[in-house]
């Protein structure tokens, strides 16, 4: 479902015209408007454009909160268009389960070779109710390790769930400097009941003074809801 926010933006989707070097969207926090009630409750708090340190890709990152009053799953389609309004890249992201009231991150990862000279980024969100959240049986903890951060997750339930998807935005003086995403699991995408595992994040973040960390926890099917 396509979103329209301000008349000064593109009428198709939420768009942000960027050239390399631009980092954070200057528009205030807003609620995504759409026909469906669930989409109305997804609050987009901030948007960031983050080139990776290897000059290989650029992340278009949305920091949002689920204010729908429901646990939801979200599919996000991100697109990049050039100055001629031709689509040069399409990417997809998904949040399998976001608990009501939970902050979360969605992102589009664009290869720099496809967006040379700048691009206009936009997104479409499709939101549906789910009963597959497993947040209540999972806990995460962070521990500083020199310039990196160790993120630990524990599955306190007796059932296997999907690996915990952790996404982190690193900032310096309020400006995004890096983005990281890891999956905490035992084998592949399976996180066994009673298990604790960890991952290191921020290996490529270099200098930062703050970070936003979010996580997603979901079962494999609707029978594993907690």
**pLDDT tens digit string along 56-73?**
999 999 999 999 999 999
99: its two tokens:
């608990």
pLDDT band for position 36 (50/70/90)? Answer: low
Strand, helix or coil for residue 39? helix
Tell me the CA distances in angstroms from 36 to 3, 33, 91, one per residue in order: 11, 8, 23
Q: From CA 5, how far away is CA 161, in angstroms rounded?
A: 36
pLDDT band for position 32 (50/70/90)? Answer: very low
Domain boundaries 14-129, CATH class: mainly beta
**pLDDT tens digit string along 163-221?**
999 999 999 998 999 999 999 999 999 999 999 999 999 988 878 999 999 999 999 86
**pLDDT tens digit string along 93-140?**
999 999 999 999 999 999 999 998 778 999 999 999 999 999 999 999
pLDDT at residue 20, rounded to an integer: 40
Residues 6+ apart with CB under 8 A from 214: 63, 102, 103, 104, 105, 166, 167, 168
Total-model pTM: 0.82
The reply to whether domains 14-129 and 135-224 share a CATH topology is: yes
CB-CB contact of 178 with 208 (8 Å): yes
150-185 burial, b at 16+ Cβ within 10 Å, e below that, comes to ebebbbebebbbbbbbbbbbbbeeeebbbbbbbbbb
DSSP-assigned letters across all residues of 176-191: EEEEEEEEE-SBTTEE
Q: Is residue 3 over pLDDT 50?
A: no
Q: Where are the domains of the chain?
A: 14-129, 135-224
pLDDT at residue 23, rounded to an integer: 53
Nearest to 208 by CA among 183, 176, 172: 172
Q: From CA 45, how far away is CA 106, in angstroms rounded?
A: 12
Pick the CATH number of 135-224 from 3.30.70.1450, 2.60.40.10, 2.40.33.20, 3.40.50.150: 2.60.40.10
Place of tokens 């469906």: 36
């Amino acid at each position: 479902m396509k979103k329209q926010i301000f008349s000064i933006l593109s009428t198709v989707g939420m768009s942000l015209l960027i050239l390399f070097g631009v980092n954070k969207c200057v528009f205030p926090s807003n609620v995504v408007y759409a026909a469906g009630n669930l989409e109305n409750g997804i609050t987009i708090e901030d948007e960031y454009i983050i080139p990776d340190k290897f000059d290989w890709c650029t992340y278009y990152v949305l920091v949002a909160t689920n204010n729908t009053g429901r646990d939801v799953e979200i599919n996000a389609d991100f697109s990049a268009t050039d100055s001629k309004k031709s689509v040069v890249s399409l990417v997809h992201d998904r949040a399998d389960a976001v608990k009501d009231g939970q902050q979360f991150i969605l992102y589009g990862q664009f290869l720099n070779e496809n967006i040379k000279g700048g691009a206009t980024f936009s997104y479409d969100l499709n939101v549906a109710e789910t009963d597959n959240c497993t947040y209540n049986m999972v806990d995460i903890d962070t521990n500083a390790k020199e310039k990196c951060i160790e993120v630990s997750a524990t599955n306190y339930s007796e059932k296997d769930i999907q690996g915990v998807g952790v996404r982190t935005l690193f900032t310096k003086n309020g400006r995004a400097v890096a983005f990281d995403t890891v999956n905490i699991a035992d084998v592949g995408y399976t996180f066994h009941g009673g298990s604790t595992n960890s991952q290191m994040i921020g290996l490529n973040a270099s200098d930062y003074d703050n970070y936003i960390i979010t996580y997603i926890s979901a079962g494999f099917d609707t029978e594993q809801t907690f």
